[in-house]
Amino acid sequence: MSPDRWYKKKYILLGGVIPGPNKPKNLDSFLFPGLYHLCALMNEGLVIWDSCRNVSWTAWLYLVFVTANGPGMAYLDGLVNYRGKCGCRIYCCCRGHNKPNTGQNYPACKRPDNSDAPSSNHPDFSLAEPMNYAEAIS
């Protein structure tokens, strides 16, 4: 498919919506029936009848990617949201700095001036020299 057609409404097949305002208590049990059905179609294919040409053909389905807004993606992948201590979704280990007197953190590469909060006194994070993930969590 050419790039000028990507993300056009008529080419997107919405696989599911998590209803609101109350989210499911157990997301895995909520998603399991749809993913189970998709898995069966991925293994066996989906036979489609074309009545105009009087033929049937098999379509092969793929789960390419899952999208969501910020809070929704944190809920889907099981990580904290962007205000968590390690709120990066690509596991870069850039720790957030704590906002005083709150449970919120904010992502920043440089340590704030005059900040002596115990959870925010870690050194600056350099994007030019990324850490190895194994080194960062030790």
> How far is residue 101's CA from residue 95's CA, in Å, rounded to a whole number?
18
The pLDDT-based confidence of 127 (bands split at 50, 70, 90) is low
Q: Per residue in 7-27, pLDDT tens?
A: 777 777 777 777 778 888 888
pTM: 0.54
For range 52-70, the mean pLDDT = 86
Greatest alpha-carbon span in the chain: 75
Per-residue three-class SS string for 49-91? EECCCCEEEEECCCCCCCCCCHHHHHHHHCCCCCCCCCCCCCC
Neighbouring C-alpha atoms within 13 Å toward the C-beta of 117: 16
